[in-house]
Structure 1
Amino acid sequence: MSSLIDNIRKLSLDAGDSSERLALEASTSDAEALSQHLEDEFVQSALMSGMDLREYSKSIEKDLKTVERDAVKDYIQQADQLASLHQEISSCDKVLEQMEQLLGGFQADLGAISSDIQRLQEQSVLMNQRLKNRQAVRGELSQFVDDMVIPQSMIQAIFERQVTEREFLEQLHELQHKIQFIKAQEFKEAQAALDVRDVIEGLKQKAMEKIREWLIQKIYQFRKPLTNYQIPQNAMLKNRFFYEFLLGNERQVAKEIRDEYVDTLGKMFYSYFKTYASRLFRLQHDDTATKEDLLGAEDTIRVSGFFSSKPQVRNRATVFSLGQRINVLTTDLEAPLIVPHVAQQNNERFQFEALFRSLQFAMVDHASHEYLFLCDFFLVNGQSLFDFFGQIMGKAIANIMKALEEKIAINFDAISLQLCIQMCAKYEEIMLKRGVSALDGYWKNIRSVLWDRFDTVMHLHIESLRLADAKRLGAVDTRPHYIVRRYAEFTTALLVVSQHSGMPIDERLQALITRLQAEIEQLLAKMAAELKNPKEKHICLINNYDLVLSVLMERLNEDTRETSSFKELQQTQINRYVEEMLFPHFGALMNFVNECEPLVDQGHTELLRRYTEKVPNLVRSFSADWKKSIDQINQEVMRSFSNFKNGTNILQGALTQLIQYYHRFQKVLAHQAFANCAAKNELVNIHHIMVELKKYKPIY
């Protein structure tokens, strides 16, 4: 109880000290604090009311003491509760102290556990790294042991199995791997490689011995006559790893195999193509083109004998026409080869281009197969492949070139030569599609030989037309001449062949055809000059031009330079012929129109009046005879032109020209110079004439 009273006194003293401290602080505040108190509303009201501040301070102090006594009494009354609170606070302090000690121990334990976890984590990382290292070492060591060890199955397969068996090939691949591995280890100076080197070397020698023997046997099979050489080639191709094994381990043996192959296949291809070409060209037609079979040659050749001198007629249809020969560029381009002995048994004969096609297609097939085989089996490419291919096919190609040069040199068939030129281009395209470019020089050489001969033969044709004597070519009349038909068929054939090439016409060919056309035009002019009647000359030229156009337009799918040129030439002659044909019937009217039109244009009225006297006779003559004249013109045209379509076109042109002349005649008569001419009333109505002319229009 005494302690409680002491506490209360202590509290009261603290309260007194607080009031004194407050008074001291209030009295010692600076001027700014005083001014702030003076601004207080209550203080201002006290000052305004005139209250004495000292009295006011004493009353306040008295109130404070009263409050202090009340507070002490209140503290005394609550002493038991305060003592109880003090005890509870003390007990709480003890509990908190214990908890602090407990948490401190727990914190120490956690610190120890964290250290253990960190240590375990470091140990785990270390152990994991050791495991990975051991696994890596184990894998490499295991692979090293596997690569180094020679299993018994490999030894048995290499020594006992046939080279064509699957097990041998599999073990050969594995042996090659081990050989490469041992070489790598020897380079690294691995001691373990010395333990198996002798065994590996023995297996390698045995494998090469068996492979070499098998390959030599396959190559020797090519030497057997009538053997399909592609069968052993396919067998070698299935085991292409054999040569790769030899090449990788013993280049001398690989070179031996390669040299043996080159020697054997080179002789085989040489023999095959030499024999095939020789037998093939025996099947050529006996009736081939000669130096006499030219465009300007006569149809009959006199053969003077001991007893008689009969004319011998030669059939030159195959020399100057194309017919079905174009098939060598289309349907027959990749047709089966001609088999000579079968063709001989069937008594078959062929044109030169058909034999040429069969020989070249054989070259395409064999060369393509051989080129791809060399690339796949012997593992060569680029220039090495070209050289290798040349070593094998060189002699055969040279022999073919020699045989072709001999045959081409005596070939006078220009169509056949042009077909062969286009065939070379198509076969070269086929080779490029197959990815074989080793024969590019071969095609270039053949085309060069063919073009040289084609140029020579074409110049012979051109020269024959230039030197042709129109008087010796048979009777010349208005009908198409056989020389012109030859020219039409011949030119059309060359243009059709060029179109089937799929390329624009070659400039060299176009130049030769243009020269040929110039010569045929000159020859036609000579032929027409043999006719005395000018009208017949025009008819002759029109019919011959029509023949050329008919053949060109029938066979060609598109307009050509020659077609356009002959159309112009024909139209020029038609215009001249129409004038010649109309003149006997309407010559006076035509002269009147041609003389008066310039005067009308120039306005010479007085000069026109001089023609007034001619008008009545012209009008009456035309009115009386125009129908009969048109009928005569129609009959003349139908007689003169064998081509009905051409004749009707010419007739329509003539009637159109007549209408134009009559219209011009009426236009001249409409001039004031003929104003007083009464004969104008007798003119036939132009519409009446046109109705009559419609009867002569073609029905088609």
Structure 2
Amino acid sequence: MVTSAQSQETDLRIHAEEVASTLLREEEAYVADKDAKLDQLLSAYSGLEDCDEALEKVEKSLLSFQVDLTKVSGEIRHINDTSTALGIKLENRTDLETSLHKVLARILLEPETIKVLTGSDVNDAYLKALAALDKQASFCRRPQAKSLASYPEVVVEMDRLVLSACGRIRSFFLEIIGGFRAKNTNVHIIQNSVLLHFQPAHAFLHKWHVEAGREVEQEFMHTMRWFYDEHFDRYHRGLSRYQAPMLSKTDLMCGEVDQVKSSFFGGSSSSSSTSPSPEAFTLTNRMKPLINHPQEEDVIILHVAERNHQTFTFERLFRSFHVALMDNVCSEYQFIE
């Protein structure tokens, strides 16, 4: 600037004043410009301060959220550990319940079953309850049941129920068997519909109380002995009335009828009042009833024979008597066995 002023031959003081004046104007213009932008700067500064405050709050919130996340993470870990422990406990409990259920199912009876055993009549429901009692009582006699802590109490109650059931069954059968001696009692219907139907109860009695079982058997056998003596003696006498005349080895075709011989059914081999019928000398199939298989028609019904005025050979009467006896004996055996 000095060189430029000298080359133009300008006074340096004047030039210095001009420069100073120019700088002053530039300074004033610069200051005015900055003053004009001061509000914007203050507004920006205020915005920055607001941003700092917001960021500080966000930072505090993030720190708080991080702390909360740490707590939540710890709680989740605790819940996970608790869930694992509960799962193990549940599995162990399930295994224990399964094993315990198997044991309890063998030694415990349902209240309804006990109610039937102690207060109900002997019927189909009683037989079902009796089967459950037999199963439980049988398990209580096994060695593995004695290892249970509750075994002494359970076995006492089980024996009490068994004894009570045996008493009811004994009274039931003795009452039924005692009714056989009543007049006009159809013993066979009672045998098929009652005794054979309740044969499992008799087996239970014989298993758990041998003396009572033998008492029922002895009473049954004595009663049936009386029944057979009475009824088969009557049947035997009835059959003798329908025996056809027959010949013995002493009878002659043209001889005198002077001998009377008693037959198995109380009839005579030849009658003193009547001569043998012509059929007595006819070759017949008298052996056939003795060699055929038993059939229902083998048994002679007395009132039917009387109504039809039938007579039968000795072999036919013999077979009828023994087939009827065999059928009855088989029926008794089914109950006694």
Q: Scaled by the length of structure 2, what TM-score is found?
A: 0.58
* Matches of 2:186 and 2:210, distance apart in 1: 29
**Residue 323 (structure 2) aligns with:** 361
Residues 1:195 and 2:153 are matched in the alignment = yes
TM-aligned CA deviation for residue 189 of structure 1: 4.5
Superposition map of 1:386-425 within 5 A: none
* Matches of 1:319 and 1:332, distance apart in 2: 26
1:236 equivalent among 169, 191, 195: 195
Cα 1:211–1:342 shift into 2, 3 Å? same
TM-aligned CA deviation for residue 141 of structure 1: 1.8
Post-superposition CA distance 1:384-403 (Å, at most 9, x none): xxxxxxxxxxxxxxxxxxxx
* Matches of 1:229 and 1:243, distance apart in 2: 18
* Matches of 1:195 and 1:346, distance apart in 2: 70
Residues 1:180 and 2:141 are matched in the alignment = no
**Residue 256 (structure 1) aligns with:** 215
* Matches of 1:366 and 1:233, distance apart in 2: 10
**Residue 116 (structure 2) aligns with:** 157
Cα 1:315–1:180 shift into 2, 3 Å? closer
**Residue 319 (structure 1) aligns with:** 280
Alignment gaps of 5+ in structure 2: 1-86, 259-273
Cα 1:250–1:183 shift into 2, 3 Å? same
Q: Secondary structure at the match of 1:350?
A: coil
Post-superposition CA distance 1:378-428 (Å, at most 9, x none): 44xxxxxxxxxxxxxxxxxxxxxxxxxxxxxxxxxxxxxxxxxxxxxxxxx
TM-aligned CA deviation for residue 242 of structure 1: 0.7
1:211 equivalent among 155, 158, 169: 169
* Matches of 1:206 and 1:155, distance apart in 2: 11
Cα 1:267–1:137 shift into 2, 3 Å? same
* Matches of 1:302 and 1:249, distance apart in 2: 66
**Residue 530 (structure 1) aligns with:** none
1:270 equivalent among 209, 219, 229: 229
TM-aligned CA deviation for residue 192 of structure 1: 0.7
TM-aligned CA deviation for residue 276 of structure 1: 1.1
CA contact (8 A) 1:293 1:319 kept: no
2:106 equivalent among 147, 150, 162: 147
TM-aligned CA deviation for residue 249 of structure 1: 1.5
Question: Which AA in structure 2 matches 1:359?
Answer: F
**Residue 98 (structure 1) aligns with:** none
Question: Which AA in structure 2 matches 1:360?
Answer: H
TM-aligned CA deviation for residue 354 of structure 1: 2.5
2:305 equivalent among 313, 325, 343: 343
* Matches of 2:142 and 2:275, distance apart in 1: 82
Q: Secondary structure at the match of 2:170?
A: helix
Cα 1:367–1:246 shift into 2, 3 Å? closer
Residues 1:247 and 2:209 are matched in the alignment = no
CA contact (8 A) 2:140 2:155 kept: yes
**Residue 603 (structure 1) aligns with:** none
Cα 1:197–1:332 shift into 2, 3 Å? closer
* Matches of 1:333 and 1:196, distance apart in 2: 53
**Residue 545 (structure 1) aligns with:** none
**Residue 127 (structure 2) aligns with:** 169
* Matches of 1:316 and 1:144, distance apart in 2: 80
Superposition map of 1:98-113 within 5 A: none
* Matches of 1:319 and 1:186, distance apart in 2: 76
Q: Scaled by the length of structure 1, what TM-score is found?
A: 0.30
TM-aligned CA deviation for residue 290 of structure 1: 4.3
TM-aligned CA deviation for residue 156 of structure 1: 1.4
Question: Which AA in structure 1 matches 2:163?
Answer: Q
* Matches of 1:264 and 1:207, distance apart in 2: 24
Alignment gaps of 5+ in structure 1: 1-127, 304-312, 380-700
Superposition map of 1:429-444 within 5 A: none
2:251 equivalent among 293, 305, 324: 293
Cα 1:213–1:347 shift into 2, 3 Å? same
Count residues in correspondence: 234
Cα 1:137–1:363 shift into 2, 3 Å? same
CA contact (8 A) 1:279 1:340 kept: yes
Cα 1:169–1:322 shift into 2, 3 Å? same
Question: Which AA in structure 1 matches 2:215?
Answer: E
Higher RCO, 1 vs 2 (CA within 8 Å, ≥6 residues apart): 2
CA contact (8 A) 1:220 1:264 kept: yes
* Matches of 1:206 and 1:184, distance apart in 2: 21
**Residue 520 (structure 1) aligns with:** none
TM-aligned CA deviation for residue 353 of structure 1: 2.3
**Residue 113 (structure 1) aligns with:** none
CA contact (8 A) 1:328 1:353 kept: yes
CA contact (8 A) 1:277 1:359 kept: yes
* Matches of 2:135 and 2:240, distance apart in 1: 54
2:178 equivalent among 204, 220, 227: 220
CA contact (8 A) 2:257 2:275 kept: no
* Matches of 2:308 and 2:177, distance apart in 1: 35
Post-superposition CA distance 1:40-87 (Å, at most 9, x none): xxxxxxxxxxxxxxxxxxxxxxxxxxxxxxxxxxxxxxxxxxxxxxxx
Q: Secondary structure at the match of 2:241?
A: helix
* Matches of 1:259 and 1:227, distance apart in 2: 20
Question: Which AA in structure 1 matches 2:330?
Answer: S
CA contact (8 A) 1:179 1:200 kept: yes
Superposition map of 1:520-669 within 5 A: none
Aligned-residue sequence identity (percent) comes to 25
CA contact (8 A) 1:219 1:232 kept: no
TM-aligned CA deviation for residue 341 of structure 1: 4.6
**Residue 667 (structure 1) aligns with:** none
Post-superposition CA distance 1:340-363 (Å, at most 9, x none): 355345544333223223212212
* Matches of 1:262 and 1:350, distance apart in 2: 32
Cα 1:288–1:156 shift into 2, 3 Å? same
Cα 1:351–1:142 shift into 2, 3 Å? closer
TM-aligned CA deviation for residue 266 of structure 1: 2.0
* Matches of 1:291 and 1:207, distance apart in 2: 63
Q: Secondary structure at the match of 1:141?
A: helix
* Matches of 2:105 and 2:257, distance apart in 1: 94
Q: Secondary structure at the match of 2:159?
A: helix
Question: Which AA in structure 2 matches 1:176?
Answer: D
TM-aligned CA deviation for residue 176 of structure 1: 1.7
